[in-house]
Amino acid sequence: MDKDLKFAVIGGGSWATAIVKMLTENLPQVGWYMRSVYALEHLKRQQHNPNYLSSVEFKLDQLKLTNDINEAVAYADYLIFAIPSAFLHTELQKLTVSLEGKVIFSAIKGIVPESGLIVGEHFHDKYQIPFDDIGVITGPCHAEEVALERLSYLTIASNDEEKAKIVAKNLSSEYIKCKVSDDIIGTEYAAVLKNIYSVAAGIAHGLGYGDNFQSVLMSNAIREMKRFIKKVHKMKRNINDSAYLGDLLVTGYSIFSRNRMFGNMIGKGYTVKSAQMEMNMVAEGYYAAKTAYELDANKNTRTPIIDAVHGILYENKNPKKVFKKLAEKLD
């Protein structure tokens, strides 16, 4: 019975905290791996994460807390990874127990730098996890609104519909609505690309472009996303569904979007390093821009927004000049 299945969340950030909150609405106990010993000990004393979504209080008897990733993996049947993609390789190197037989869902919105793969493909290629045991959790959904228990929507994608339904059931509540999808590759690439477009939206805002331009930018972004995903994984999908367009819009416009915040700083004249230091959070769109640009070079897709963001972040191009040229390419 799926009620006897054990879940563990790998990660200590805001999205991981939000997912633990969702799961504890439905499960008697949830495993939770946090790398930070300080955060773990604080949580045990104060019942909340000291660094992320600190307004969310947990019942300690519902949590199996550990700072040993092997303990979390050994405990659970379903593992939900919710750590920045830039740190996934390092964390997985700590594994001494096997992932065989585990069902792995990724809530990571990024590409693994060391392999250049989306997370699902990384687990399949590097750890021989069957695609039927891999899934994706995607938005549109900001962790901050989960903490506030505002109505939010998730898409749960997997080749195995039954496993997607199990995850959807255990994440659902009065304020979380879930739907399932079989587009595991497309939804994960969409989650990666929307962060790049959110950086672009932030740069535009920082440069002083208004709402009229932003609407055109987002309109072009969803069409660019459609072209890109069609190249990497051709199947029937509606790009206007929430997992694609909805996630793009909330990430491009929301005050909670760290990628938009990062882009806004770049547009205002911050260097990449200074923006990263001031934010003290990971903007996945920074890493995604490099890998998506390199993937696009091989697939010959028209991606002017990705090209523009890459030029600014990695080629030290002037944001004002780049966006002036980009504006001429949009329609």
Q: Are residues 242 and 322 in the same domain?
A: yes
Q: Are residues 248 and 165 in the same domain?
A: no
Task: Supply the DSSP string of 255-280, one letter for each residue.
Answer: TT-HHHHHHHHHHTT--HHHHHHHH-
| DSSP helix/strand/coil, 55 | coil
Q: Are residues 176 and 190 in the same domain?
A: no
Query: Which band of pLDDT confidence, cut at 50, 70 and 90, is reported for residue 3?
Result: low
Query: Which band of pLDDT confidence, cut at 50, 70 and 90, is reported for residue 1?
Result: very low
Give Cβ neighbours of residue 231 (< 8 Å, ≥ 6 apart): 299, 301
Q: Are residues 131 and 251 in the same domain?
A: no
Overall average pLDDT of the 296-305 stretch: 82
Given a cut of 80, whether residue 162 has pLDDT beyond it is: yes
Q: Are residues 195 and 174 in the same domain?
A: no
Q: Are residues 135 and 210 in the same domain?
A: no
Domain count across the chain: 2
Q: Are residues 237 and 134 in the same domain?
A: no
Overall average pLDDT of the 221-238 stretch: 88
pLDDT single digits (tens) 33-72: 999 999 999 999 999 999 899 999 999 999 999 999 999 9
Q: Which domain holds residue 294?
A: 186-329
Q: Are residues 115 and 131 in the same domain?
A: yes
Tell me if 22 sits within 8 A of 46, measured CB to CB.
no
Q: Are residues 194 and 80 in the same domain?
A: no
Q: Are residues 217 and 146 in the same domain?
A: no
CATH number of the domain enclosing 249: 1.10.1040.10
Tell me if 73 sits within 8 A of 8, measured CB to CB.
yes
The per-residue pLDDT for 2 is: 59
Q: Which of 182, 199, 214 is the last residue of a domain?
A: 182
Give Cβ neighbours of residue 132 (< 8 Å, ≥ 6 apart): 158, 159, 160, 163
CATH number of the domain enclosing 82: 3.40.50.720
Name the residue type at position 44: K
Q: Which of 182, 206, 231 is the last residue of a domain?
A: 182
